Amino acid sequence: MASNPTDQPRYVFDRNHQRASVRLNYQHFLITRLTDNQLLHQATQDHFDLTTPHRVADIGTGTALYEHDAFRTFPSEYHGKYDLVNLRFFMTLLNGQNLNQVLQNVMALLKPGGLFQWLDIDAPSARPIGLEPSSMTRTSLVAMMMNNTPPDAASWITKNCNMATSAGFEPIAYDQLRFNDLHRPIWNQCVMMGLEEVIDGLEKREIGANSASAQDLRDTLDNLSKEFQQGASIDTTWFYLVVRKPF
């Protein structure tokens, strides 16, 4: 989980565990398609002798075995204990001010020479596809919302390992991944379920379904579903980086 300091983006999703579990299951299925069913990046596999045990820390991957605020320092007994830290789905919690803190906390967990692999959406890359622009106004609007979640994403998401090397990591690998058209219907469902969670969160924070912003988003969601049925979608790039803690 994440703390709520003033420089941290608000968690955009409602904490509806049943609905979120469905969305996360869909997302994890899509991730297996993106990565050819490999839990470890090829560069990570090449780095380790996989015939011997290694200690792996999953952060934000949906395993939820332990609860810890990743924006706070991990307990000292975990420092320098892990061969690999694996991070996913953290984009909506980050910004240019708190990114370095998370990376430093990850660095502390790793043994010297340990690897950090991070798979996440490249938010500024989101764009509407599939129909004439005039026929997918809601798809374009939601793509623009994704571009700006977090609002400053374009200023610190890089097309290389620099966003991690600036915190002291050494670059190993950087890939850009995309879904193929076969999996777009499932991705569209993820987008709609995510927007539904955003709406539910707004309604709880802004006194129920009479919230003007929530009503606007429900209208957007209804029309987005229709545009998706007609063939629209939101194309996005996913980045997959691997970096190393110096020896």
Q: Give the pairing type, strands 233-244 and 170-177.
A: antiparallel
Q: Which residue's structure tokens are 């395993």?
A: 63
The pair of structure tokens assigned to 125 is 């890359």
- Is residue 164 within 8 Å of residue 147, measured between CB atoms? no
- Is residue 91 within 8 Å of residue 123, measured between CB atoms? yes
The CA-based angle 193-119-247, given to 5 degrees, is 155
Residue 219: exposed, middle, or buried by beta-carbon count in 10 A (0-12, 13-18, 19+)? exposed
Q: Give the pairing type, strands 82-88 and 110-129.
A: parallel
Q: What is the mean pLDDT of each run of 10 residues along the chain (247 residues)?
A: 46 62 88 92 95 91 66 93 94 91 96 97 95 94 93 91 95 96 95 90 69 86 97 96 97
Question: Which pLDDT belongs to residue 69?
Answer: 79
The pair of structure tokens assigned to 38 is 């490999």
Question: For the chain, which residues make up each domain, given as ranges?
Answer: 17-244
CATH among 3.40.50, 3.10.450, 3.30.70, 2.40.10 for 17-244: 3.40.50
Can you tell me the distance from the alpha carbon of 67 to that of 219, in angstroms, rounded to the nearest whole number? 35
Rounded to two decimals, the pTM is 0.87
Of the candidates 172, 150, 159, the one whose C-alpha atom is nearest the C-alpha of residue 238 is 159
Of the candidates 92, 69, 72, 70, the one whose C-alpha atom is nearest the C-alpha of residue 20 is 92
Amino acid identity for residue 94 in this structure: L
Region of residue 105 (left: phi > 0; alpha: psi -120 to 50; beta: else): alpha
Can you tell me the distance from the alpha carbon of 77 to that of 124, in angstroms, rounded to the nearest whole number? 37
Q: How many CB atoms lie within 10 A of CB 130?
A: 18
